[in-house]
Structure 1
Amino acid sequence: EMTFVENRFFKLFYYIYLNHLLPAFAKIFSKNPAAYHYLADSIMNFPSPDAFSKILEEAGMVHVEKYPLTFGITWLHIGKKAISS
């Protein structure tokens, strides 16, 4: 999942990219630039990796693990469905 970066170094750059550069490029190259505003909003409002892992656990997943990718911009979440008795 894509999430807003927690790394202080990348946070400002990522914010500028999501809210200014991406929409500007979308106006030029996309037939649906509004989709890129939606993408930026959904990334910025997506739960943190820890919060999303907790959501997975509350939904019944077990052995939930998370791995940062691309400097923490993207996270891989892995969980297993609990076996019912």
Structure 2
Amino acid sequence: MFADIAEKIVAGGGALPLLALDLGITQDQLRERLAMMEHMGYLSRPECSPEEQATTGCGCCSGCSKESGDRFFLTEKGMKLIRKG
């Protein structure tokens, strides 16, 4: 499941509700998995400057849930997870 989530994030992510639906899990389950992946070092949250957020929205990251403000990108370890899968 982690590889599936990582692939979706690399492909552009999307809003949590849509991503969860696409993966066939609930939003709470997705949030739990994202938290686990972040804790395990597969994901990281970008540090977007206020200027970047104002001009590009979520352009400084690979995956985003605009409704909740959750933004993630894959770390090097996360990219290896995709290459293995």
Per the normalisation by structure 1, the TM-score is 0.28
Structure showing greater radius of gyration is 1
Q: Which structure has the higher relative contact order (CA within 8 Å, separation 6+)?
A: 2
Per the normalisation by structure 2, the TM-score is 0.28
